[in-house]
């Protein structure tokens, strides 16, 4: 198997518990190079635990995982050289300008020509006009785009985005989506964790649903929709949405509430 054929990310039988709480109960999936893979799940499903294990911040109790061909348990340093992690909250320094944030990270990574690197990333993420403004003046979407740009310094082949649009307004979310699409178009492998169903529909090449510590389904959006029959209402055929698939497989949450945020996903009823 050539390097390009080896999955960028591979998990087999991954398990993790905190005392009597079994968070991961044997998680398996592969992520192809240069693709966007969405890991869907309710709050507490274990999505962030998966990311922490893959990024060497947490040790698994059992199973195996590799990133960019390197074992996360025995080759942690190589894994860290291959990845970047962007969490739920932007890690920018608000006192510095957008350009200064990028230059700082480039210098910390001992890269040559940090100013050139910063300018290229500012242009890539449509932040050139705001380069000399303090990050504290940026909108939520701009901060998140700057955060992702900072994480790309050094050109890591794999990036983890852990619920990157949490707390953002609709326009800011669209800006982040555009940035993520651009990453994949340029060959970066993206593992995206989210509880927003429309986000997975918009971005992912493949989608896996993590529920009660296990992957209960893994496939393309088309494959997942085929799990439910089409609905015919007044002779109009309606394909199931990802929301229909998720709620059918996972069920409702406590007190009858939906198990996760549907955001702006259309409802499952056809209205005339």
DSSP string, the chain: --TTTS-SEEEEEEEEEETTEEEEEEEEEEE-TT-EEEEE--TTSSHHHHHHHHTTSS--SEEEEEETTEETTT-HHHHHHHEEEE-SS----TTSBHHHHHHHHHHHTT-S-HHHHHHHHHHHTT-GGGTTSBGGGS-HHHHHHHHHHHHTTT--SEEEEESTTTT--HHHHHHHHHHHHHHHHTT-EEEEEES-HHHHHHH-SEEEEEETTEEEEEE-HHHHHTTSPPEEETTEEEPPPHHHHHHHHH---GGG--SS--TTPPPSS---
Predicted local confidence at residue 269, as pLDDT? 43
Per-residue pLDDT band for 30 (boundaries 50, 70, 90) equals very high
262-268 mean pLDDT: 43
CB contact at 8 A, 204 and 192: yes
Per-residue pLDDT band for 216 (boundaries 50, 70, 90) equals very high
Give the dihedral of Cα atoms 37, 261, 87, 13; nearest 10 deg: -50
CA pseudo-torsion sign 145, 150, 155, 158:
negative
User: For the structural domain made of 9-92+138-219, what CATH number should be given?
Assistant: 3.40.50.300
Max mean pLDDT range (63-72, 123-132, 148-157): 63-72
Among residues 166, 215, 247, 163, the alpha carbon closest in space to that of 31 is found at 215
Predicted local confidence at residue 90, as pLDDT? 63
* Distance between CA atoms of residues 189 and 183, nearest Å: 8
User: Does the pLDDT of residue 1 top 70, yes or no?
Assistant: no
- Report CA-CA distances (Å) from 223 to 142, 219, 259: 34, 6, 21
Question: pLDDT per residue over 72-112, tens digit each?
Answer: 999 999 999 999 998 766 678 999 999 999 999 999 989 99
Predicted local confidence at residue 57, as pLDDT? 94
Predicted local confidence at residue 3, as pLDDT? 57
Question: pLDDT per residue over 119-146, tens digit each?
Answer: 999 998 889 999 999 999 999 888 888 9
User: Does the pLDDT of residue 263 top 50, yes or no?
Assistant: no
Name 38's bridge partners: 192, 207
Per-residue pLDDT band for 246 (boundaries 50, 70, 90) equals confident
Domains of the chain, by residue range, sit at 9-92+138-219
Predicted local confidence at residue 96, as pLDDT? 96
């Amino acid at each position: 198997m050539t390097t390009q054929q080896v999955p960028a990310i591979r998990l087999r039988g991954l398990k993790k518990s905190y005392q009597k709480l079994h968070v991961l109960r044997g998680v398996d999936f592969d992520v192809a190079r240069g693709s966007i893979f969405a890991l869907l799940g309710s709050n507490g499903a274990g999505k962030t635990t998966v990311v922490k294990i893959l990024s060497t911040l947490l040790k698994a109790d059992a199973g195996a995982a590799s990133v960019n061909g390197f074992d996360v348990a025995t080759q942690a340093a190589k894994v860290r050289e291959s990845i970047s992690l962007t969490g739920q909250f932007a890690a920018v320094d608000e006192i510095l300008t957008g350009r200064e944030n990028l230059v700082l990270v480039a210098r910390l990574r001992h890269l040559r020509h940090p100013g050139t690197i910063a300018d290229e990333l500012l242009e890539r993420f449509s932040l050139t006009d705001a380069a000399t403004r303090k990050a504290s003046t940026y909108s939520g979407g701009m901060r998140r785009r700057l955060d992702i740009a900072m994480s790309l310094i050094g050109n890591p082949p794999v990036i983890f985005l852990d619920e990157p649009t949490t707390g953002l307004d609709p326009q800011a979310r669209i800006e982040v989506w555009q940035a993520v699409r651009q990453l994949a178009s340029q060959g970066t492998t993206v593992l995206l964790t989210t509880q927003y169903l429309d986000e997975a529909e918009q971005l992912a090449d493949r989608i896996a649903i993590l529920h009660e510590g296990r992957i209960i389904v893994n496939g393309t959006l088309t494959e997942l929709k085929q799990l439910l029959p089409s609905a015919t209402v007044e002779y109009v055929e309606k394909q199931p949405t990802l929301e229909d698939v998720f709620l059918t497989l996972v069920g409702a949450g406590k007190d009858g509430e939906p198990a996760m945020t549907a955001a702006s996903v259309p409802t499952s009823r056809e209205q005339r």
